């Protein structure tokens, strides 16, 4: 997949939605009874990259305070939703160690990935930082995970919603219509090609999480160091 073209198509489609204020609003972000849970393999950007992103987040808060803007602590890249969040899923229903074994096996002998965060893209549901893997490792890892989990008897739902192919990080979800639409679009365009930084992926996190990866609802099951 050509990520540049993919992100650009997302951006162009979102622009039309923004102009018409046709947003896909998330009604469950602050729902206290949201019991959707799952397990996911994620990557967290380095502190240096997060500092660069936080400046953008602060500007978003000024322009669009009524939207759900991710705390820096929650920003991540989804490698793979091993079990996509659904109501009623409980951690005690799975053998966590068996999942960890498969993930460790899948990472074995793979080189270190390097990800460049450059620019923003969007959908009618939210705003994302564009991620560009430089070594092709992320795609290889995903393919290996697909094979290994499908060959196992463990519960999984890889690619059930869609086949993940990007390396983006969601930073905002729409809760309501954007009141300062012109200013909002101006800010997004300001960061459209902004260089947020590059980092090597030396660790992966296997987590039990809610739909939004909120820190207070996420439990780290294992940290897999990768050198």
- Evaluate whether residue 28 is within a structural domain: no
Domain count, the chain: 1
Q: What is the predicted pLDDT for the residue at 162?
A: 60
- Check whether 10 has a pLDDT greater than 80: yes
What's the mean pLDDT in 36-63? 96
CATH code for the domain of 8: 3.90.1140.10
Confidence of residue 161 (pLDDT cuts 50, 70, 90): low
Label each residue of 152-179 as H, E or C: CCCCCCCCCCCCCCCCCEEEEECCCCCC
Q: Give the model's pLDDT for residue 45.
A: 97
Q: Which domain holds residue 102?
A: 3-23+37-225
Segment among 6-10, 106-110, 175-179 with least mean pLDDT: 175-179
CB count within 10 Å of CB 218 equals 20
pTM across the whole model: 0.95
pLDDT mean over 98-102: 97
DSSP string, 80-116: EEEEEEEET--GGGS-HHHHHHHHHHHHTTPPPEEEE
Contacts of 9 (CB under 8 A, 6+ apart): none
- Taking the C-alpha atoms of residue 94 and residue 17, their distance in angstroms, rounded to an integer, is 41
Residue 31 lies in a domain: no
Among candidates 179, 168, 180, 176, which has minimal Cα distance to 122?
168
Residue 195 resides in a domain: yes
Q: Is residue 142 part of a domain?
A: yes
Inside any domain, residue 32: no
pLDDT for the residue numbered 46: 97
Residue 164, Cβ neighbours under 10 Å: how many? 17
d(CA 34, CA 21): 27
In a domain, 30, yes or no: no
CB 53 within 8 A of CB 131: no
Q: What are the pLDDT digits (tens) for 173-196?
A: 999 998 888 899 999 999 999 999
Residue 155: pLDDT over 70:
yes
190-224 tens-digit pLDDT: 999 999 999 999 999 999 999 999 999 999 999 99
In a domain, 108, yes or no: yes
The Cα 132–Cα 66 span in angstroms is: 29
Whether residue 29 is contained in a domain is answered as no
**What is the arithmetic mean of pLDDT over 30-43?**
94
3-state secondary structure of 227: coil
């Amino acid at each position: 997949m050509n990520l540049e073209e993919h992100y650009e198509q997302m951006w162009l489609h979102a622009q039309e939605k923004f102009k018409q204020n046709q947003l896909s609003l998330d009604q469950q972000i602050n729902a206290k009874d949201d019991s959707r849970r799952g397990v996911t393999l994620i990557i967290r950007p380095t502190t240096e990259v997060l500092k660069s992103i936080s400046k953008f987040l602060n500007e978003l808060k000024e322009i669009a305070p009524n939207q759900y803007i991710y705390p820096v602590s929650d920003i991540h890249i989804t490698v793979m939703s091993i079990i996509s969040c659904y109501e009623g899923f409980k951690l005690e229903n799975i053998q966590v160690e068996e999942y960890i074994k498969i993930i460790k096996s899948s990472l074995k002998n793979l080189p270190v990935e390097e990800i460049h965060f450059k620019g923003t893209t969007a959908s009618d549901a939210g705003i994302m930082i564009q991620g560009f893997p430089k070594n092709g490792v992320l795609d290889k890892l995903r393919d290996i995970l697909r094979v290994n989990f499908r060959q196992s008897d463990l519960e999984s739902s890889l690619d059930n919603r869609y086949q993940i192919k990007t390396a983006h990080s969601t930073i905002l979800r729409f809760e309501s219509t954007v009141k300062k639409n012109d200013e909002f679009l101006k800010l997004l365009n300001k960061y459209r090609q902004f260089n947020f930084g590059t980092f090597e992926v030396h660790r992966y996190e296997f987590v039990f999480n809610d739909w939004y990866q909120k820190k207070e609802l996420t439990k780290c099951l294992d940290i897999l160091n990768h050198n």
